[in-house]
A and B are shown apart, each in its own frame.
Chain A
Amino acid sequence: DIQMTQSPSSLSASVGDRVTITCQASQHISNFLNWYQKKQGKAPKLLIYDASNLETGVPSRFSGSGSGRDFTFTISSLQPEDLATYYCQQYDNLPFTFGGGTTVEIK
């Protein structure tokens, strides 16, 4: 299985801050990576697909980049409604695997 390692596991930032989360794959996965947002008690929501493409309807403050083994997810200006846990997910190979998640808290 391809292991996905996210860091940090949690962070606390103020409204308006720039937030960056990293995801590293245990092997090369090209750009075969998605990012999801999961709010408490809700299903995950797709934000970014193919490492850098914004899903329709998702605010432009969310972005993704990277290829190979190293990927970055950024919230350019943190908003109160961004309180959530964020997960990366690879689809280079089965089984699909997710990162351990990064919980974003608002200061």
Chain B
Amino acid sequence: QVQLQESGPGLMKPSETLSLTCTVSGGSISSGDNYWSWIRQPPGKGLEWIGYIYYSGNTHYNPSVKSRVAISVDTSKNQFSLNLSSVTAADTAVYWCARYNSSGYYYLQGAFDIWGQGTMVTVSS
């Protein structure tokens, strides 16, 4: 079955650019109506969707981070990546990659049905 695995640094300094990669195994990133997403949860807070990418490269970002975020896809490696620039302590969070399985007549109809294990990113000077 499809599995996701995040990789990237766990500790960063303010103003640096966070780069995380999600490797998809057990299936092709190019198959089906899937939107490959990043989601995060700061300590003690709720879940925040960061953005998604379709295998074709189409993206959509949360306005809360839109000016600092870029999500890219490498279909040859079956990976997609998150870049978040100018990080601050507010970006300290557990970051997950997740598959949004779009399955219905409405293009957004679907759910986050597969998640990576998550990676903790701490921003500290």
What residues make up the interface of A, taking CB atoms closer than 8 Å to B?
Answer: 1, 32, 34, 36, 38, 42-46, 49-50, 55, 87, 89, 91-101
CB neighbours (8 Å) of B64 from chain A are 95
Docked-complex contact A46 and B108, CB < 8 angstroms: no
With known contacts A43-B96, A43-B117, A46-B113, A98–B47 Cβ distance under 8 A: yes
Docked-complex contact A93 and B108, CB < 8 angstroms: yes
CB neighbours (8 Å) of A38 from chain B are 47
Is B43 among interface residues, defined by CB-CB distance under 8 A? Answer: no
> Contact string, B35-73, partner A, CB cutoff 8 A, digits 1/0?
000000000001111000000000011111000000000
Contact of A36 among B63, B100, B109, B112 (CB under 8 A): B112
Docked-complex contact A87 and B46, CB < 8 angstroms: yes
Docked-complex contact A95 and B113, CB < 8 angstroms: no
With known contacts A34-B111, A43-B118, A95–B49 Cβ distance under 8 A: yes
Q: Considering only CB atoms and an 8 Å cut-off, how many residues of chain B contact the other chain? A: 24
- Chain B, 59-99, CB within 8 A of any chain A CB: 60-64, 96, 98
Docked-complex contact B108 and A92, CB < 8 angstroms: yes
CB neighbours (8 Å) of A43 from chain B are 96, 98, 115-118
Bound Cα distance A42, B96 (Å)? 10
Nearest B residue to A35, CB-CB: B111
Docked-complex contact A32 and B109, CB < 8 angstroms: yes
19 A-B contact pairs sorted by A residue (CB < 8 Å): A32-B108, A42-B117, A43-B98, A43-B116, A43-B117, A44-B47, A44-B112, A45-B115, A46-B112, A55-B113, A87-B46, A89-B47, A95-B60, A95-B63, A96-B49, A97-B49, A98-B46, A98-B47, A101-B46
